[in-house]
Structure 1
Amino acid sequence: MSPLALSLGDPAGIGPEIIACAYAASKREKLTPFFVVGGAEVLRAAAKQRGIALETVQIADPAETTRAFASGLPVLDGLDGPYEPGAPDKHGARLALASLTQATEFTRNGIASGLVTAPISKAELAEVGFSHPGQTEFLASVCGSPERDAVMMLAGPSLRTVPLTVHCALAEVSALLNHDLICHKARIVAAALARDFGIERPRLAFAGLNPHAGEGGRFGDEETRIIEPAIAALREEGIDATGPHPADAMFTPRARLRYHAAICMYHDQALIPLKTLEFDEGVNVTLGLPIIRTSPDHGTAFDIAGKGLADAGAMIAAIRLAGECAERRARDA
């Protein structure tokens, strides 16, 4: 199996240090071999500031990764810059964008078996001409996939959640919800759970939009007018879908045993429980693309970069999950 490609993320954020931490833990965690696209000096400086004895092995070709991985962290030649934690600038944004672009191409072309993206700053990237709302939309564009096919799933050890609407005002959610949106994204989730997570018959639980899932129309009619008909249609297709369930009771330990993914109506409905339960191990997985892509479910954390405070658990989890998904795809190919 080909190695995983890691993009550096914003060099002023915590990405470089958690990548270094992940490599330091790679043997213990039995991680799939990976290489980083650029930033050898940044990574060495971040590791030193973190107190990690990191050896880097500069490679000219990703094919060298497996051989090099036992000796040090493989880093692709050609891209680098200064390490100034907590001080983002245009130079760092250009490095982050170049790393992301090359890492994506390696994955899209099959040279890498999966892509793990370190956190970037959307505001900083916008300053250097990045026109996409985020990395997910960028990946969909590069892969030639409709943006609506790129579905965000947040995954942790005990919970997976999918927001049907993402970066929009809460007041807009009701108008954005419709039968096609719900069914389209649910099909993508069910297919990905089977293909990449090895779940033979995925169970999807849908949250209601309103308190008590509308309580029969007393608190809103989106459940009876939109969500229930969509769930019925999915069941007719053979997808194990239940709901709409009151969101306030969907995330208890007992409830989480009844489904493989919770389909939520809006951003915070999905992210609050995931981050509450799995903050240090939460992984952002992009479903619906021809490539495997994971990322730690947190941002650049400029405020703690270089201070030795960043937890690498989510980066380790993202690398582990990308490797597991790539292995399943390789086995089933």
Structure 2
Amino acid sequence: MSSSTKPILGITMGDPAGIGPEVIAKASAQQSVYELARPIVVGDAAVIREAVKIANVDTAVNPVGKVSEARFEFGAVDVLDLKNVDIASLKLGAVSAMAGEASFDAVTTVISLAMNHEIDATVTAPINKESINKAGHHFSGHTEIYGEYTSTKDYTMLLVDGNLKVVHVSTHVSLRKACDLVKKERILKVIQLANEACLRFGIKSPLIGVAGLNPHASDGGLFGWEEEKEIAPAVELARQMHINAEGPIPPDTLFSKARGGQYDIAVAMYHDQGHIPLKVLGFLWDEKMKKWESVNGINITLGLPIIRVSVDHGTAFDIAGQGKASEQSLLHAIEYAAKMAEGGQVEW
């Protein structure tokens, strides 16, 4: 593939006080990224320059005012410079309205670029929810921002690590509210989105495992009623639509079965139910070295009119500026975004 036909990926800077800029610097210093796509970072060029120093990588920074000015050349990372961070007052590892505003600006800018077809896909580095709310933007995460700014009502979060794929009925809400959101209509929509995603990625006749909400999927009603009243009816409706779905399945066994290949994708009822199994598999902490040995897994938002792939880790304020952060998840996100933009099959 010639360089002029490779997909253009807009990569948001993330929170400038977190590890986003340094993992971007590390990823941008790898030629494999430029073999896959034409990346352009959306954020503050001065922040990326500092991140290059922190990451101790050999790459220059090329600030541009618009996407058409980018050179997309390995050795000089292009940055659509929003000039929205005062480096002198930026404190790494700390919550601030300035950092929240800068990261939010990068996200809304990259969404606009994708909606206007100036870029082919978006990749997001982590933001800090407290910082963006401190800046006056009351969203609970990237997924909700993308939903709002693309005018999308029905969307869901897909997490992927290896062959384990999990979508969510709800994400960034309290556990008490998450239980209230376990409704037949929403569960059915998420099953449909899961099925469409699997088909898009080349999985023929995907088998979808749907988790229960309660322990042992309520054990026939002993521990709750949601399985009988909401989840099972949603699964039955999906089957009537010729979708291969099974459930409700006890959550403590579903994810192991999905990891082992029995199910192509799993539907989780709430945030932690789906995130914990993914992160137990993909995140490995080395206590002796006091750092993450592995940070794998990516986050894809399904149902949007544009492509959004993200790292599946946070801002890691505790190690920001130390050069320890791993770029693994970002590299995987870039790979998936590039393949999705090309319309090709992603290797799960």
Could you tell me which runs of 5 or more consecutive residues in structure 2 were left unpaired when the two chains were aligned.
1-5, 284-294
> Is 1:234 the equivalent of 2:238?
yes
Which residue does the alignment assign to 2:207? 203
Which residue does the alignment assign to 1:97? 104
CA gap of 1:322–1:17, structure 2 versus 1, over 3 A, is same
Shift of 1:131: 2.5
Which residue does the alignment assign to 1:297? 312
Cα distance in 2 for residues equivalent to 1:77 and 1:185: 37
- For 1:1-333, list aligned pairs within 5 A: 1-27=6-32, 30-65=35-70, 67-81=71-85, 82=87, 84-146=91-153, 149-195=154-200, 197-252=201-256, 256-279=260-283, 280-328=295-343
Shift of 1:265: 1.3
> Secondary structure of the residue that 1:268 maps to in structure 2?
helix
The count of residues paired between Structure 1 and Structure 2 equals: 326
Could you tell me which runs of 5 or more consecutive residues in structure 1 were left unpaired when the two chains were aligned.
none
Does structure 2 conserve the Cα–Cα contact (< 8 Å) formed by 1:56 and 1:74?
yes
Shift of 1:273: 0.1
> Secondary structure of the residue that 2:208 maps to in structure 1?
strand
> Secondary structure of the residue that 2:72 maps to in structure 1?
helix
Structure with greater contact order relative to length (CA < 8 Å, sep ≥ 6):
1
Shift of 1:95: 2.0
> Secondary structure of the residue that 1:49 maps to in structure 2?
helix
Cα distance in 1 for residues equivalent to 2:26 and 2:80: 18
Does structure 2 conserve the Cα–Cα contact (< 8 Å) formed by 1:14 and 1:302?
yes
TM-score using structure 2 length = 0.87
CA gap of 1:89–1:255, structure 2 versus 1, over 3 A, is closer
Cα distance in 2 for residues equivalent to 1:284 and 1:268: 14
Does structure 2 conserve the Cα–Cα contact (< 8 Å) formed by 1:57 and 1:68?
no
Per-residue CA deviations over 1:141-173 (Å, capped at 9, x if unaligned) read 111212xx1211111112111121223333344
> Secondary structure of the residue that 1:34 maps to in structure 2?
strand
Runs of 4+ in 1 over 6 A off after TM superposition: none
Shift of 1:30: 4.4
Does structure 1 conserve the Cα–Cα contact (< 8 Å) formed by 2:124 and 2:308?
yes
Two-structure CA RMSD over aligned residues (Å) = 2.1
Shift of 1:203: 2.0
Does structure 1 conserve the Cα–Cα contact (< 8 Å) formed by 2:208 and 2:266?
yes
> Secondary structure of the residue that 1:250 maps to in structure 2?
helix
Cα distance in 2 for residues equivalent to 1:132 and 1:88: 16
Does structure 2 conserve the Cα–Cα contact (< 8 Å) formed by 1:2 and 1:111?
no
Cα distance in 2 for residues equivalent to 1:28 and 1:164: 33
Does structure 2 conserve the Cα–Cα contact (< 8 Å) formed by 1:40 and 1:80?
no
Shift of 1:132: 2.2
Shift of 1:26: 4.1
The one-letter amino acid of 1:101's match is T
The one-letter amino acid of 2:67's match is P
TM-score using structure 1 length = 0.91
Per-residue CA deviations over 1:272-325 (Å, capped at 9, x if unaligned) read 001111231211111111011011111111111011221111111111111111
Does structure 2 conserve the Cα–Cα contact (< 8 Å) formed by 1:90 and 1:124?
yes
Cα distance in 2 for residues equivalent to 1:87 and 1:247: 36
Per-residue CA deviations over 1:44-79 (Å, capped at 9, x if unaligned) read 2112122112212223332344x4333421111342
